[in-house]
Structure 1
Amino acid sequence: MAERKEEEPRSVRELLTEMKNTSDWMMDLARASLLFENRELAERVRELEIRMDGLMFEIRTMAVLAARNVEEARQIAGILQIASAAEAISNSTEEMVDLVLRGMEIHPSVKGALLLSEEKIQQVEVMEGSPLLHKKLEELELPSRIGVRILALRRGKEWIIPPQPNTELKEGDLLVARGPEGGLSVFLRLSGTRRERVKREGKPTRLELWLAKMYDLSSMMVDLAYSSLLLTSRELAEEVRRMEERFDGLNYRMWLETLKTSRQEQDLERLNSLLQVVKCLEKISDAADTIADVVLRGEKLHPVFVEALSRADEQVARVRLEEGSPLQGKTLKQLNLETSVGVDVMVIERKRKYLFEPGPGKRLKAGDWLVVRGTYRALRKFEEMCRPEKKEVTAPGQEAPPAPAPASESRAS
């Protein structure tokens, strides 16, 4: 009988990359599970949480064996602090979906806030005649073309979570997609789906508006915290801490308003679901602050962690806008980068001043440093756009080739 080969141990970099990717997936899937009250998505989040526990155990074991001197011990302590924060994020998402798994009725404000938040989630069915049919996800390049990421795919009774790059779309596939409103609208048209865009009807309540801001703040805090590590930026880490203070203020108002609402609320169990979500978001924001704390304390991070972040599904880059770039002088609204390129501008650095969460009316100038988030392909595309436009030189008697179509006009298939 042949000897069974033991599975080769993985590196710390591989473990950290998987932890980052897994916690990102869990945050998105948890929100989709709450929005659609979907038990299958909730169960997948719970499975991923078990996986995160295993990854954390492996990292702790390797850390115990790795430190050979005080300097290495300090670097590894920073890695463990960040890994623990990622685990805290995953624990919080698991607590969110526990509401769905226990069959509790979700408070309308939870769903209303999800529909008001910046990142939208939509169910999309691939219909007969759609240009998406028989295309692999890697061929469609949805994240870098229209800013849409496929979180889950249901084919018949089977769920594929997460879908792989070589997953081929078939008629009847139900996709759970996340992205900007414009990108999702394009994706809906391409799919041929009969499903309407999920929208918030009527005037939003204060609870919905505040909770939507808490959703957005917690997500932004996590992104900026990881960015501060990758870019070794104290300024980004300090902004995470300022956001934490803003979040705490919203948290106080949410609890106070919820307690006032309880006087008229007949279903207290439903109201409890709202407070449970608020508590989970608070834990996520605390975890982001824990990550940023490593930078604020001036700890030198082990190079393996920076490499791990650079290999994550969603990455961060700091890109300089050069003189002559086609983006120069245009507003973020005009560029619509989330839909046309698949990148999100998180920070603009101009003359050593930082503008966090820039609004749509902000105009880009040559010399700006932009901290952007997106897939590897989207970031490379954006870097190219930040360079001066190349002028075609034509020989006498030859016609210049036609200019390429704008990114916003490129097809997603």
Structure 2
Amino acid sequence: MSEKNKMPKPSTKFTYKPLSLKDIIREMKQNIDLMIDLAYSAIKFGSKELADETYKLEQRIHELTFLLNFQIIQTHPGGLKEAKQLEPIIVMGYSIDKISDALSDIARVVYINNDISQLIQLISDLSYVPEPIVKITVKKGCIFIGQTRKDAHFRSKHGVDLIAIVRRENWIFNKNETVFEDDILIIKGEIHPISELKKICNDMDPFSFNIGTPKKDPILDLDNPDICEKFEEIQKNYVLITDISETMIELALAALFFKNEEVAEDVLEMEELMDGLNLAVEKDLLDLAKLVETPRDLTGLMRIIFSCELIADAAAHIAENIIKGFKPHPILQKAIRETSEIVVRETLSQDSFFKGKTYNELQDSQYKRGFHIIALKRKNKWIYSFKTSFIFEVGDLLISLGPLETVMQWRKCVNPEQFKD
């Protein structure tokens, strides 16, 4: 086996460098956010380079978990009151460590299942996924040419995340890297801003996920009605499972940072939903395995589903800590103030600017304010993906992620009466 096709080996040396608890927590949160994008991009594009980057972050989170525990042991003053304040930090560190393990396992599926990208591309249809990961080619005349990815402000100005740049088969992750003509941008975001970015890049080609030589032989014979029917069920539930598990991470950490018991309860509700979805997909995959020529092609997908369940369990573990009444240590608030994004929970009021508008209409920047709706609860039903024609109603509970600096503007759009000047 060539060196390129071998999984990276664990680092055997760790040099101790003291960090404050605040810096450790902030770095753990930032690394987990990046790992989510890298892991799902790895299986989407069949990239071992992305899988290796995910693995490096997993190793760093292991180091940070050690530092976190070491700092707590070193500085713990003793007593029940202090111990109760530190308990949520210990649980958070343990849970983030477990989430990083699961995300790394998802990414490394590319090493055990070479065709996983073809299967994931079939499943991750653009009409199903709330925030798809796509490739966009920088064509002549694009305004990004000559800018660094940091100066282009993809998130704040264009509402998308730039995960990586691919240049002549080399994957580049440096935030200070300059964008050149013919670079391939790996982008994550909602369909509307992604489509707008394609226009800015002068990329008029249809959406494509192939990087390098595409595989010609399909894994599944979708002309077979039995296979097609079973695959459609798996597709629907797979998108829900991956999206909900990612949402649970954001919500669990938000519940912890802000001691929000309602958000914590939302996470536990989602965990119950995940249990049912996982059982359904596992059963459907076993049924599908009887219909395909090479059942081994489905092992990577089963591993991804199992890892998503581990992510959901770890997120629920964080949420349970809040429900039990543990108060977060002040250091958590200090750490979250230095992060660039925040999760907010707001109910749509009678005088809301969102009332009666479609999801497509709310893509306008005057309402969006850089925020992405990650979940909506209407009565007793959770909704995680939205068609362009979806209409928002009074009483809808919105859970959104966006820039800290525009949070009050967004709240005033959703519930003007509550947040009027």
- TM normalised by structure 2 equals 0.79
- Following TM superposition, by how much is the alpha carbon of 1:139 offset from its aligned partner in structure 2, in angstroms? 4.2
What secondary structure sits across from 2:116 in the alignment?
coil
- Following TM superposition, by how much is the alpha carbon of 1:216 offset from its aligned partner in structure 2, in angstroms? 1.3
| Alpha carbons of structure 1 residues 325 and 48: separation in structure 2 relative to 1, 3 Å | same
Is 1:288–2:315 an aligned residue pair? yes
Q: Distance in 2 between matches of 1:110 and 1:387?
A: 38
User: Is the Cα contact below 8 Å between 1:337 and 1:343 reproduced in 2?
Assistant: no
Mean Cα displacement is larger for which, 367-376 or 15-24?
367-376
Q: Of the candidates 313, 317, 327, which is equivalent to residue 344 of structure 2?
A: 317
Is 1:123–2:135 an aligned residue pair? yes
| Alpha carbons of structure 1 residues 146 and 354: separation in structure 2 relative to 1, 3 Å | farther
Is 1:217–2:244 an aligned residue pair? yes
Q: Distance in 2 between matches of 1:251 and 1:355?
A: 18
Q: Distance in 1 between matches of 2:141 and 2:188?
A: 23
- Following TM superposition, by how much is the alpha carbon of 1:372 offset from its aligned partner in structure 2, in angstroms? 2.3
Is 1:32–2:52 an aligned residue pair? no
- Following TM superposition, by how much is the alpha carbon of 1:184 offset from its aligned partner in structure 2, in angstroms? 0.8
Is 1:363–2:373 an aligned residue pair? no
- Following TM superposition, by how much is the alpha carbon of 1:140 offset from its aligned partner in structure 2, in angstroms? 3.5
Is 1:183–2:210 an aligned residue pair? no
| Alpha carbons of structure 1 residues 106 and 255: separation in structure 2 relative to 1, 3 Å | same
CA RMSD of aligned residues (A): 3.3
Q: Of the candidates 14, 21, 25, which is equivalent to residue 23 of structure 2?
A: 14
What secondary structure sits across from 1:9 in the alignment?
coil
Q: Distance in 2 between matches of 1:376 and 1:280?
A: 30
User: Is the Cα contact below 8 Å between 1:146 and 1:341 reproduced in 2?
Assistant: no
Q: Distance in 2 between matches of 1:123 and 1:137?
A: 15
User: Is the Cα contact below 8 Å between 2:257 and 2:328 reproduced in 1?
Assistant: no
Cα deviations by residue, 1:5-60 (Å, 9 ceiling, x for unpaired): x9973211111111111111111111111011011111111111111111111111
Q: Which runs of 5+ in 2 are unaligned?
A: 1-14, 210-221, 417-421
Is 1:146–2:151 an aligned residue pair? no
Is 1:372–2:400 an aligned residue pair? yes
What secondary structure sits across from 1:312 in the alignment?
coil
| Alpha carbons of structure 1 residues 337 and 92: separation in structure 2 relative to 1, 3 Å | farther
Match of 1:396 in 2: none
What secondary structure sits across from 1:205 in the alignment?
helix
Matching residue's letter, 1:101: Y
| Alpha carbons of structure 1 residues 385 and 146: separation in structure 2 relative to 1, 3 Å | farther
| Alpha carbons of structure 1 residues 348 and 277: separation in structure 2 relative to 1, 3 Å | closer
User: Is the Cα contact below 8 Å between 1:135 and 1:168 reproduced in 2?
Assistant: yes
Q: Distance in 1 between matches of 2:369 and 2:32?
A: 24
Match of 1:96 in 2: 106
Pairing 1:21-100 to 2, within 5 Å after superposition: 21-68=30-77, 69-100=79-110
Q: Distance in 1 between matches of 2:314 and 2:120?
A: 21
What secondary structure sits across from 1:153 in the alignment?
strand
Q: Distance in 2 between matches of 1:8 and 1:50?
A: 15
Match of 2:7 in 1: none
Matching residue's letter, 1:96: I
Mean Cα displacement is larger for which, 331-340 or 268-277?
331-340
Cα deviations by residue, 1:56-81 (Å, 9 ceiling, x for unpaired): 11111101112113222222221011
Identity within the alignment, %: 25
Cα deviations by residue, 1:347-394 (Å, 9 ceiling, x for unpaired): 6799xx8885475644366x9885421233554663575697xxxxxx
| Alpha carbons of structure 1 residues 340 and 370: separation in structure 2 relative to 1, 3 Å | closer
- TM normalised by structure 1 equals 0.81
What secondary structure sits across from 1:177 in the alignment?
strand
User: Is the Cα contact below 8 Å between 2:346 and 2:415 reproduced in 1?
Assistant: no
Pairing 1:188-199 to 2, within 5 Å after superposition: 188-193=198-203, 195-198=205-208
- Following TM superposition, by how much is the alpha carbon of 1:250 offset from its aligned partner in structure 2, in angstroms? 0.9
Q: Distance in 1 between matches of 2:353 and 2:316?
A: 36
Cα deviations by residue, 1:172-193 (Å, 9 ceiling, x for unpaired): 2221110001111111111123
Q: Distance in 2 between matches of 1:90 and 1:197?
A: 30
Cα deviations by residue, 1:272-306 (Å, 9 ceiling, x for unpaired): 11111111111111111011111111101101113
| Higher-RCO chain (CA-CA 8 Å, sequence separation at least 6) | 1
Q: Distance in 2 between matches of 1:21 and 1:368?
A: 30
Q: Give the length in aligned residue pairs.
A: 379
Cα deviations by residue, 1:294-345 (Å, 9 ceiling, x for unpaired): 1111101101113323333432235687997755664444212689533123
Q: Of the candidates 241, 256, 273, which is equivalent to residue 229 of structure 1?
A: 256
Q: Distance in 1 between matches of 2:71 and 2:117?
A: 43
Matching residue's letter, 2:330: P
Match of 1:411 in 2: none
Q: Of the candidates 343, 362, 365, which is equivalent to residue 335 of structure 1?
A: 362
Q: Distance in 2 between matches of 1:172 and 1:80?
A: 46
Q: Distance in 2 between matches of 1:144 and 1:71?
A: 41
Is 1:300–2:327 an aligned residue pair? yes
Match of 1:392 in 2: none
Mean Cα displacement is larger for which, 319-328 or 182-191?
319-328
